Each structure stands twice: as structure tokens, then as C-alpha cells.
Amino acid sequence: MNKIYFLIGASGAGKTTAAKVLENKRTDIYFYYPDQEQEIPSMEEMVKQYGSTSTWQQIKTIERVKDVKEKYLHTKPVLIDTQSRYDFIKEACDKNGIENYQVILFDCQDSIRNQRLHVRGQPELINEKMDGWAKFLREDCQKHGCAIVDTSNLTVEVMTNSLEKALK
């Protein structure tokens, strides 16, 4: 079975930007953008339907991994651009019988991420909650030995090259 790469990070870290550039260079990997391709409910709706935003994330991670396994993994490796925590990724892979996966974190300084979010017209994502989420992902990935790319001062080209190098 082919490998799944999980490209994670807080909004504005550069995940999608680097993945889209790499997608134009690499036809040997399937690129999956569930957070862009599927409607993401509001936090209020997540809580209403699932009890918490965390439970929504956990369930969606499991569903997405199942979907990737059934549709794409038999033909080539898959890179999933998403915001999920390591434990949910591990659980999703375990439940779907996937052993060959890797988590790659794109991270950057809060001020840089906030500037990127402002420039792309998403000022509502500039808040302490997003800063806390970025910190959580950073510490969680450090704890689990994941590949971490600090995109704070990288050009798009260097971010893309760093992502490509992280695909082992």
C-alpha cells in the first residue's frame, strides 16, 4: 500500500500554498485538500452536531483517511493538506489499517502567520485561539518526532522544496 503524508499546520502557515506548487511539479502523488473541497461547518455547528470541535475533527480525520484509502491509495501516495492533531491522525490510520504514513508540520511565527492571514483576507482567523492551536501543533509534533518545517522566513519556492524533501 502507498504512503499517506499528512501536511498539517495552523491556517496561514503555508501548507496549501506549498502543496499547490508541488502538485504542479509532481504527478506521482495525489494531493487531497479536504478543508477546501468540503464545506467546513462553523464552530457552533460542529459543537451542535458533534458535541465539540475536537470531536468533529476526530471523526472527519477518520472519514477522510477511509476515503483516501478506498479511492486513491492503491494507485499512488497521497498528501492530505489538513488541520488535524497527531493523535487523531494515528487513530484514523490505525482504524483503517494504514501503517505507512508520515506527519509533516508547517509552522511559523504567530506574527508572520497573522500577516499572511490578513493579506489573504481572513482577519477573523487572527486570534488567540489560532495562536494556541499553532502552539499545540508545534509541541505535539515535537513530542511525536514529526518533520517540522518553519516557514516563517521562507519564500514559496523554498517552502515547496522543503515540503518535497520531507516526503520520505
Residue ranges covered by each domain of the chain: 4-166
Residue type, position 145, single letter: G
Q: In a 3-state reduction of DSSP, which class is residue 102?
A: strand
Q: In a 3-state reduction of DSSP, which class is residue 13?
A: coil
CATH of 4-166, picked from 3.30.830.10, 3.30.499.10, 3.40.50.300, 3.30.960.10, is 3.40.50.300
* 151 band by pLDDT with thresholds 50, 70 and 90: very high
Q: Which helix (H) or strand (E) holds 86?
A: helix 86-95
| pLDDT at residue 35 in the model | 76
> How much of the chain, in percent, has pLDDT values that exceed 90?
83
Segment 106-126 shows an average pLDDT of: 94
Segment 130-151 shows an average pLDDT of: 96
Segment 148-166 shows an average pLDDT of: 96
Segment 109-117 shows an average pLDDT of: 95
* 150 band by pLDDT with thresholds 50, 70 and 90: very high
Kindly report the pTM of this predicted structure.
0.93
Segment 49-55 shows an average pLDDT of: 88
Supply angle C-alpha 89, 94, 95, rounded to 5: 100
User: How far is 19 from 35, CA to CA, in rounded Å?
Assistant: 13
